[in-house]
């Protein structure tokens, strides 16, 4: 988090992260090509490299997609989330190398422009066996490019969080396109069941992780209801010191924080990337998002100056050891006097 948008600089942690990722990519490519040349002596170096970069990109994309659900299941995985965008950009670059090698080998030596050749060389969309699977891969790569190009916080700020988030949820569309690209492409001619098994396992892992994390979070979506303006949300002792209890009130998740003998409530959604503020803690007097460290004052829901992010606040009161939260959120950044704990 920074006051101004400047050229990207890598701190020590990010440098170590990127070094590990790219070392892993290099090791994977070398091992894949080495084993491939040993097991399939008839395969050309170009073919092995195409397969190596393609499978590496798909493997990394699976890792990207399960990081979010894993973090919802356990905070131990949060360090992976901090640099997830670095991993996503790596997926694009590895996939782009795969695409460049494929286009050169199959489309660059003809009379047509290579990209035109991809679109017109095969139009048998009604055939499963001869489906133009390369178009699916091209569409997925375009989506990954848009995500990589807008990964910096500059775009998050200027596109606005809802638009940026919508754009980046297209990663699931890209994933579906890549599953189709592989299933209708290489698997059509693959005699070994190994690749099919790995692809099926990865699909089950991604879908299963999302379903399990959604089931875990469904408890927080059990809405507290009342005909009164103030709704009983929880008991004071349910909230750990400088942490939060998350409740759904009037259709919105609310993070109710306890700190220094006081209670404050804000929207659970961080304005940076919709991170769960209720899973964070109060540090230095500020609610700190567990995803990327964005901070908000619990009394106002506003980031400390010079930052300008704001989240809605809620009026709260405490009576007989119970916390009551008003149904209607206040305007983002509105100061609300904290409720004192008896």
Measured distance CA(293)–CA(69) in Å, rounded:
19
pLDDT at residue 227, as a whole number: 58
pLDDT at 5 over 60: no
- Average pLDDT, stretch 318-324? 93
What is the mean pLDDT of the segment spanning 127-137?
89
| Collapsed DSSP state (helix, strand, coil) of residue 104 | helix
Taking Cα atoms as reference points, which of 94, 118, 92 lies closest to residue 105? 118
Average pLDDT, the chain: 88
Q: Could you tell me which of 179, 174, 216 has the C-alpha nearest to residue 201?
A: 179
Between 219 and 143, the higher pLDDT residue: 143
Distance CA 298, CA 301 (A): 5
Task: Please indicate, yes or no, whether residues 212 and 239 belong to a single structural domain of this protein.
Answer: no
- Please compute the mean of the pLDDT values over residues 158-175 and round it to a whole number: 88
**Burial environment of residue 79 by CB neighbours within 10 A (0 to 12, 13 to 18, 19 or more):** exposed
Both tokens of 161, joined, read: 């969080």
- Which pLDDT value is given to residue 4? 55
DSSP-derived 3-state class of residue 124: coil
> What does the pLDDT average to over 204-224?
80
Check which CATH number belongs to the domain holding 327 and give it: 2.102.10.10
Asked whether the predicted pLDDT for residue 266 surpasses 70, the reply is yes
Number of domains in the chain: 2
Which among 217, 249, 278 is the end of a domain?
A: 217
- Portion of the chain with pLDDT greater than 70, in percent: 94
Reported confidence tier of residue 1, pLDDT bands at 50, 70, 90? very low
Cβ-contact 329, 267 below 8 angstroms: yes
pLDDT at position 162 is 78
The span from the CA of 132 to the CA of 125, in Å, is: 6
Residues 41 and 176 in one domain: yes
**CA separation for the pair 47, 53 (Å, rounded):** 10
Range of the domain at 289: 224-340
> pLDDT value at position 224?
59
The verdict on 41 and 166 lying in the same domain is yes
Q: How confident is the model at residue 222 (pLDDT cuts 50, 70, 90)?
A: low
Q: Note whether 301 and 313 are within 8 A (CB).
A: yes
- Among residues 164, 189, 217, the one where a domain terminates is 217
Q: Encode pLDDT of 54-72 as tens digits.
A: 999 999 999 999 998 998 8
The residue among 217, 241, 274 that closes a domain is: 217
Instruction: Report the distance separating Cα 253 and Cα 233, nearest Å.
Output: 11
Residues 63 and 21: beta-carbon distance below 8 Å: no
pLDDT band at 193 (very low <50, low <70, confident <90, very high): confident
Q: Are residues 320 and 301 in the same domain?
A: yes
82-108 average pLDDT score:
92
- In this structure, how many other beta carbons lie within 10 angstroms of the beta carbon of residue 116? 11
Q: HSE-up of 100 (CA within 13 Å, CB side)?
A: 7
What number of other Cβ atoms are within 10 A of residue 287's Cβ?
27
In a domain, 7, yes or no: no
């Amino acid at each position: 988090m920074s006051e101004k948008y400047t050229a990207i600089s890598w701190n020590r942690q990010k440098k170590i992260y990127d070094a590990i990722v790219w070392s892993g990519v290099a090791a994977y490519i070398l091992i894949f090509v080495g084993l491939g040349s040993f097991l399939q002596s008839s395969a050309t170096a170009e073919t092995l490299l195409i397969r190596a970069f393609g499978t590496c990109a798909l493997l990394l994309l699976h890792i990207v997609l399960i990081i979010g659900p894993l973090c919802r299941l356990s905070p131990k995985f949060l360090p992976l989330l901090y640099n997830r965008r670095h991993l996503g950009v790596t997926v694009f670059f590895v996939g782009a190398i795969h695409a460049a090698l494929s286009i050169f080998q199959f489309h660059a030596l003809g009379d047509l422009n290579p990209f035109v050749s991809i679109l017109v060389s095969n139009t048998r969309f009604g055939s499963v066996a001869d489906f133009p699977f390369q178009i699916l891969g091209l569409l997925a790569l375009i989506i990954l490019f848009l995500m990589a190009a807008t990964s910096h916080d500059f775009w998050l700020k200027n596109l606005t969080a809802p638009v940026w988030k919508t754009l980046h949820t297209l990663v699931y569309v890209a994933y579906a396109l890549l599953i189709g690209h592989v299933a209708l492409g290489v698997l059509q001619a693959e005699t070994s069941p190994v690749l099919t098994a790995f692809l099926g396992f990865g699909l089950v892992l991604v879908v299963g992780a999302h379903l399990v994390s959604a089931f875990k979070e469904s408890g927080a979506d059990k809405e507290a209801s009342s005909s009164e303006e103030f709704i009983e949300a929880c008991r004071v002792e349910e909230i750990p010191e400088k942490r939060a209890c998350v409740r759904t009130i009037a259709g919105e998740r609310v993070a109710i924080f306890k700190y220094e003998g006081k209670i404050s409530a804000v929207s659970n959604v961080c304005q940076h990337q919709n991170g769960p503020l209720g899973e964070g803690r109060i540090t230095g007097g500020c609610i700190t998002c567990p995803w990327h460290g964005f901070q908000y004052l619990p009394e106002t829901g506003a980031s400390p100056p010079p930052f300008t992010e704001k989240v809605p606040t809620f009026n709260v009161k405490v009576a007989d050891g119970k916390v009551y939260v008003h149904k209607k959120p206040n305007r983002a950044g509105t100061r609300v006097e904290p409720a004192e704990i008896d």
